[in-house]
Structure 1
Amino acid sequence: MAALADVAALDLAGDRIADIAAVRARHGARTAVLVETTLLRRRASQKLPDAEHWLFTDEALQQATAAPVAAQRARRLAGRTVADVTCSVGAELAALCGTATAVIGSDIDPIRLAMARHNLAGAPVLLCRADALAPITAEAAVIADPARRSGGRRRFDPRDYAPALDDLLAAYAGRDLVVKCAPGIDFDALADMGFRGEIEITSWRGSVREACLWSAGLAEPGIARRASVLDTGEQVTDAESDDCGVGPVGRWIVDPDGAVVRAGLVRHYGARHGLWQLDPDIAYLTGDAVPPGIRGFEVIEQIPFTEKALRQALSALDCGALEILVRGVRVDPDQLRRRMRPRGDTPLSVVITRVGAGQAARAVAFICRSPRPEAARD
């Protein structure tokens, strides 16, 4: 620990060769692991509040749940005895210790388990080595976070997770079970595996982080899908009304949070906030006001989308910094931005989307101002 504290005082970002030479002169053969651990701790500070004291492997850090996401899950399990059967280095356990009545952590990897013992030193948690598919508890609610990476590559088929998702569901059939999955998981594939609980899609810092499966005993009655937006604290579920109409563009265009889109709850979100869709099959919403905390695009001009027409319109508006959002139209935003060659002083956003279906379908470009969320609320 003293050696790690010594290395932590170095920059390791500028002249890294000189810094590593200094570490090697003082710490010899331990240089590589000391430098790696220090760099991992710095990366981990974006996810975990106490990262400067933790031990990680690179893969364990990639898989570790960000503290706000783990805290959201821990709140739903408050007052329960909880067993994390893939505890790795302890990110979920740290959150559970603040809400659960009793916490048990297990992992099959002895190195990650040893790291968890260090990371959670003094916390009220029981740790043991065990296979996630061999239950070691009878009454506890179970959390599992199967590995979705191998050798740095993502595994997209849930049957390729480690342990496989279908094996986990079978091992804990009839138990209260929570499983963290990739946010892009196929909902139909879950149904084919016999999953009948709630799917919660969670976003944080503007990015969709995970899909979380809650077994029937832990799901709220009548809810099969939930979007949790941690940046605003808002949750939307499929138990709400989806009475969201379709109509011409209003004053604002709203691009719903990715968790809402991924959970298939755009219409429910629109109905909640008095918005309507530009097209029934496209996730953009529009209205005369912007929901709190959400970035809205104030419409200046609407034109049929062609590159020539868009370039002329942007030039007339003295466009400088240009943001392009696209849904339902085959356009690469980055390449289009380069072809527009904006050279003016006015920052603008362009929302390009399809409106209508079949022969009536057309591509439309909405040229917008793009204020901060606070300005949108005003």
Structure 2
Amino acid sequence: METEAFAGLLTDEGQALLAGLGGYEEAGELAVATRLRREHPAELVSAALTQARLRRRAAAKFGADADRMYFTPDGVEQATRTTVAEHRAARFARLGVGRVADLCAGIGGDAIALARAGIEVLAVDRSPLTCAVARANAEALGLADRIEVRCADVTEVDTAGYDAVFVDPARRGGRGRIFDPEAYSPPLSWAVEAARTTSFAALKIAPGVPHEAVPDDAEAQWVSDRGDVKEAVLWFGTRPGARSATLLPRGATLTGTGLPDPPVGPVGGYVYEPDGAVIRAHLVAEVAQQVGGRLIDGTIAYVTADELRPTPYATAYAISDTLPFNLKRLKALLREREVGTLTVKKRGSAVEPEEVRRRVKPRGPNAATVLLTRVAGAPAMLIGAPVTTN
């Protein structure tokens, strides 16, 4: 979609066309397109149908706002989920930030959350189409008075006069995801220097960033949403050297205390699976301390304990059986217990959950969970069920 085609969507004709596309997929896109092209320019019809498809995809990230917003394919893919953006915006607001330079702003997902938190935003992106979409989103959501969109190279933007910067470098290229922080656009080293020019800053990076790549003067925060790790953020001007994991939507945050690795011991009555953000932040020891637990293996992030203790940072399982890995034995046990609903999770195992379900053929009215893992270095199966700890 080109900028000119997108501009057509903002005209009265384009708006009417978009408004009339609700539920178009039931009628079939080809039939709808053929009919509409009799009454409207083909390019406008194509742009409207593309936008309708993108809005459906974006609903998972933006909720009800998606029906009023505008998107590009890359924008839907790369934009921050609303729950995550709102959490970050709220933290900026608590820090007393009044003006933020949002560099690499994309379609404006973070800018929207910042503006709704009462912060004035300069949203910068170098793509004319992306900037046009960001402006349209600010207008559509009634935030144009708080969001200034500027089409420019972020490396040439003067951030003097802003309380904070937020940088979300592009982490995808022609070959997919980019894992080297210096291959981001702009590079992480540039973003770090930009962060140091203001009182506060947040740099959004991939959650798999090596800990050794985190600057000493930054706080590193890993964020998950409903158990799915979404991002890592380097904060400047907050808690230098801190490592934390935040779990949304609850907002619980676990901060590292420098604990040594937990001891390894036998599997107890309960096994705790730490949230992915906790694991990425290297805070499994803190969870083990909370629950009075130990590791089942020195290389596996499963914590076991003899009693159940509450923690928001891990899912607990009551363990009924700890067995050496053997699918025939598992199949027989599940048949004996009439297990038809089987959840298979793995950590440290090469066996895929789908393969296990295919081979054991669970049948029956009962449910169970099997954890495929290693115990003291040996492949094992832990059988049980999830339990609530908070």
Range class of TM-score, shorter chain: 0.7 to 0.9
Shift of 1:221: 5.0
CA distance in 2, matches of 1:101, 1:317: 57
- Is the 2:83–2:249 Cα contact (8 Å) retained in structure 1? no
Question: Could you list the per-position Cα deviations for residues 305-326 of structure 1 after superposition, in whole angstroms to 9, with x for gaps in the alignment?
Answer: 2233323322322222222222
SS, match of residue 61 in structure 1? helix
Number of the residue aligned with 1:33: 47
Residues 241 and 272, structure 1, Cα contact 8 Å, conserved in 2: no
* Pick aligned residue for 2:85 from 70, 73, 93: 70
Distance (whole Å) between structure 1 residues aligned to residue 333 and residue 297 of structure 2 = 24
TM-score (norm 1): 0.88
Q: C-alpha displacement at 1:26, in angstroms?
A: 3.1
- The residue aligned with 2:319 is 299
Say which of 130, 135, 142 aligns to 2:152. 130
1:354 to partner: Cα distance: 1.3
Q: In 2, Cα distance between the equivalents of 1:171 and 1:235? A: 27
Shift of residue 100, structure 1, vs aligned partner: 4.9
- Any residues of structure 2 matched to 1:311-326 within 5 Å, and which? 311-326=331-346
For the Cα contact (< 8 Å) 2:170–2:184, is it kept in 1?
Answer: yes
Does the 8 Å contact 2:270/2:308 carry over to 1?
Answer: yes
Q: Which amino acid aligns with 2:165?
A: V
Is residue 156 of structure 1 aligned with residue 170 of structure 2?
no
SS in 2 for 1:354: strand
The answer to whether 1:363 aligns with 2:379 is yes
Moved more, 118-127 or 31-40: 118-127
Give me the whole-angstrom Cα distance separating, in 2, the residues matched to 1:313 and 1:303: 11
Gap runs ≥5 in structure 1: none
Which region of structure 1 is more displaced relative to structure 2, 294-303 or 205-214? 294-303
207, 220, 237: which is aligned to 2:239? Answer: 220
Corresponding residue of 2:69? 54
Q: Is the 8 A contact 1:348 1:367 kept in 2?
A: yes
Summarize deviations over 1:328-376 as a string: whole Å, max 9, x none.
23322222221222233322111122122xxxx32221111245xxxx2
**Alignment length (residue pairs):** 363
The match for 1:270 is 288
Where do residues 75-90 of structure 1 align in structure 2 (5 Å cutoff)?
75-78=90-93, 79-80=96-97, 81-90=99-108
Amino acid at match of 2:59: S
Corresponding residue for 1:332? 352
* Partner Cα distance (1:20, 1:253) in 2: 54
- Equivalent position amino acid for 2:127 in 1: D
| RMSD, matched Cα | 2.3
Deviations 1:178-233 (A, max 9, x none): 11111122222x14xx5641111111122110111112x2x32551x111100332
1:210 aligns with 2:228: no
CA distance in 2, matches of 1:103, 1:320: 53
**1:268 Cα deviation from its structure 2 partner:** 0.8
CA distance in 2, matches of 1:152, 1:3: 35
Contact 1:82 1:100 in 2 (8 A): no
1:285 matches 2:288? no
- Residue 15 (structure 1) aligns with: 28
One-letter code aligned to 1:334: E
Residue-by-residue CA offset, 1:68-102 (whole Å, 9 max, x unaligned): 10111111211212110111211111111133543
Instruction: Tell me the alpha carbon deviations over residues 20-58 of structure 1, each in whole angstroms, 9 at most, x when there is no partner.
Output: 323323323111110010111122121114111111101
- Aligned residue type for 1:344: G
Gap change, CA 1:276 and 1:233, over 3 Å in 2: farther
**Residues of 1 paired with 2:346 and 2:269: CA distance?**
19
| 1: CA distance, partners of 2:40 / 2:271 | 58
Secondary structure (helix, strand or coil) at the match of 1:138 reads coil
Q: Secondary structure at the match of 1:137?
A: coil
Identity of aligned residues (%): 35
Contact 2:262–2:285 (8 Å) recurs in 1:
yes
Q: Which runs of 4+ in 1 moved over 6 A?
A: none
SS at match of 1:43: helix
Aligned-partner Cα distance in 2 for 1:153–1:24: 35
Change (3 A) 1:299 1:168: same
Give the whole-Å Cα distance in 2 for the aligned partners of 1:230 and 1:344.
35
What amino acid does structure 2 have at the position aligned with 1:353? Answer: T
Pair 1:201 & 2:215 matched:
no
Q: Distance in 1 between matches of 2:218 and 2:241?
A: 10
Look up the equivalent residue of 1:187 and give its one-letter code: H
**Secondary structure class of the residue paired with 1:323:** strand
What are the ranges of 5 or more consecutive residues in structure 2 without an aligned counterpart?
Answer: 1-14
What CA distance in whole angstroms lies between the structure 1 residues aligned with 2:114 and 2:76?
18
Q: 1:300 to 1:64 in 2, by over 3 A?
A: same
Q: Distance in 1 between matches of 2:100 and 2:273?
A: 37
